Structure 1
Amino acid sequence: MTNDSTGADAAKAVGAKGPEELRRQIEETRSQLGDTVEELAAKADVKARARARAADLKDKAGAMTVQVKSTAALAGHTVQDKASQAGHAVQDTVPGPVRTAATNVVRAGLRHPRPVLIAGAGAVVAAGLLRRRHNGHH
């Protein structure tokens, strides 16, 4: 007799008490062998394993997408809140006529963005020239 499982099963079979017990042992061994064959077939089915892995990765990617969108939305709200706070702080410190003029410019810019951009660029250039003259550079 050997010490492997086949030898142990053979010892059981030899020790069976009657034909009915021997049949039961044979049926049990067949069932175990069928389970083992199914497990080996599942491991050998590379396509099925690849499909299962792809489905798992797809689920993980979907969950990450939801998380990234949620984080982006939260960041957007945070930026919006900070901009609103900054706007209120500026509103409290800027004189009324300047505030009114700035509001009118913003509204005009929303209606006609190109002329406002051109005027803004001109104002930046003019401010730069004035600053250079003020500092003694001609």
Structure 2
Amino acid sequence: MTDKAAEGYESGGEAAQEAGAKGPDELRRQIERTRSQLGDTVEELAGKADVKGRVQARAADMRDRAGAMTVQLRSSAAQAGHTVQGKATQAGHAVQDRANRAGHTVEHNLPEPVRNAVHAGARHRGPMVAAGVAVGAVAAVAVLRHRRHGR
């Protein structure tokens, strides 16, 4: 160490002692505060360096979001399914009323492909409802994506 460095070290030490600690007890308190601050800083740095922990926390957050979105999509799909079922019921009643006014059966007024679809739907109600819910879910996802991305 050079003489100037030694002087600066000694005078810096004295300046620090004069400006900071007013005795051994005060110096001990300052040291304890500095240790505590250093510990906090090391803890923060360790948290930032814990990539695995941060990834796990992010994954847990994403799972929570996905769960919430699943609930929302199921609700939207169920609502869409009910809407589709209601519209189909209204259309069926309209066709029935029209057939009744004309004195015909409903099947008489429907084209052959529609008649076949109605008969298949009557025989297999469960899959038809599931298909309606699936169509509703696809529509709900499309609407949500459109709203989110503005496209």
Instruction: Please give the range of the TM-score, normalised by the shorter of the 2 chains.
Output: 0.5 to 0.7
TM-score (norm 1): 0.62
Alignment-mate amino acid for residue 79 of structure 1? V
**SS of 2:21 mapped into structure 1:** coil
Structure number with greater CO (CA < 8 Å, separation at least 6) is 2
AA in 1 matched with 2:93: H
Could you tell me which of 119, 123, 127 is aligned with 1:110? 123
TM-score under structure 2 normalisation?
Answer: 0.57
What letter matches 2:60 in structure 1?
A: A
2:86 equivalent to 1:98? no
Task: Assess if the C-alpha contact under 8 Å between 1:91 and 1:99 holds in 2.
Answer: yes
Give 1:31's match in structure 2, choosing from 26, 30, 36. 36
Residue 52 (1) aligns with residue 57 (2): yes
Structure 1 residues 90 and 46, CA gap change in structure 2 (3 angstroms): same
Partner of 2:76: 71
Q: State the alpha-carbon separation in 1 of the partners of residues 69 and 17 from structure 2.
A: 55
- Identify the residue that residue 22 of structure 2 maps to in structure 1: 17
Identity of aligned residues (%): 68
- Give deviations 1:63-113, integer Å, cap 9, x for gaps: 1111111111111011011011111111111035514888xx949x628xx
Question: In the superposition, relative to structure 1, how do residues 41 and 13 fare at CA in structure 2: closer, same or farther (>3 Å)?
Answer: farther
Q: Number of residues paired by the alignment? A: 100
Q: Classify the secondary structure of the residue corresponding to 2:105.
A: helix
Query: Secondary structure of the equivalent of 1:41?
Result: helix
Q: Distance in 1 between matches of 2:19 and 2:31?
A: 12
Which ranges in structure 2 are unaligned for 5 or more consecutive residues? Answer: 1-11, 109-114, 125-151
Larger radius of gyration: 1
Query: In the aligned structure 2, how far is the partner of 1:64 from the partner of 1:47?
Result: 25
Q: Distance in 2 between matches of 1:12 and 1:60?
A: 55
Q: Is it true that 1:89 corresponds to 2:94 in the alignment?
A: yes
